[in-house]
Each structure stands twice: as C-alpha cells, then as structure tokens.
Amino acid sequence: DQQVKQNSPSLSVQEGRISILNCDYTNSMFDYFLWYKKYPAEGPTFLISISSIKDKNEDGRFTVFLNKSAKHLSLHIVPSQPGDSAVYFCAAKGRGSNYKLTFGKGTLLTVNP
C-alpha cells in the first residue's frame, strides 16, 4: 500500500542552496497534505501543510507546492541550513476524515556546510 510515495530516499545539498523534496500520491480522496521533519529517536515535527484547495503555501524558508492534476507535491527549503538535516516525511489525510494520516517513507536530507 503505497498511496504516498517519496521516491528519493536521500538528498544532499550545499548550505545556502535550495532543497526540493518531492512526494507523489495516488488517492484522489486526499484533501490535506503535511510535511513533517524527524530527527532520530524523536517524534515527527510539523513543518507546513496545504489544503487541496490551494496550490502553494509559504512559511518563512519553507514553501509547499501542490499540483493536483499530477498528484504531486513538493517542499522547497531556501536557503538550506545544516540544521535542516533530518528525515522529511510527506503525509496525507482523506477528505471528510479527521483521522488517519498516510505517510511516505521519508527522504533523508543532508545539508553540507
């Protein structure tokens, strides 16, 4: 069951450059998408979200883009900082439900000084 896919297990970026993390989904009933950041042995930390009625949401260095026709979303981090190094999870919630999130497998981002 891979309704949410993060096809890149890892990404390495230089400090100050842009990091682009990608996520694809297959379930057209998803209506709310979230990005979480996770350090080892800690819980997922919420970063940014987007509703399916929007195509962009921005919060400081983080921007999420949603392309509903392609069932694709991406997280842009600019400028990237070494402290951004972590695993980033894409998650999605179904329409009409306040319940389960379906997670991708995550992408390990390494930002090199």
Partner 1 sequence: EPEVTQTPSHQVTQMGQEVILRCVPISNHLYFYWYRQILGQKVEFLVSFYNNEISEKSEIFDDQFSVERPDGSNFTLKIRSTKLEDSAMYFCASSGDPSGQETQYFGPGTRLLVL
- The DSSP secondary structure of 18-80, one letter per residue, reads -EEEEEEE--TTEEEEEEEEE-TTS--EEEEEEETT-SEEEETTEEEEEETTTTEEEEEESS-
CB 6 within 8 A of CB 62: no
Which stretch in 18-26, 55-63, 68-76, 88-96 sits in contact with partner 1 by CB under 8 A? 88-96
Residue in 20, 79, 103, 108 binding partner 1, rule: CB under 8 A: 103
For residues 28 and 5, give the distance between their C-alpha atoms in angstroms, rounded to a whole number: 14
* Interactions with partner 1, residue window 16-35 (CB under 8 A): 32, 34
54 binds partner 1 (CB under 8 A): no
105 binds partner 1 (CB under 8 A): yes
69 binds partner 1 (CB under 8 A): no
Q: In angstroms, what is the minimal distance from the CB of 81 to partner 1?
A: 21
Residue in 12, 14, 28, 45 binding partner 1, rule: CB under 8 A: 45
- The DSSP secondary structure of 88-106, one letter per residue, reads EEEEEEETT-SS-EEE---
Q: In angstroms, what is the minimal distance from the CB of 104 to partner 1?
A: 7
Amino acid identity of residue 10, one-letter, is S
Q: Which residues bind partner 1 (CB under 8 A)?
A: 32, 34, 36, 41-46, 49, 89, 91, 93, 97-106
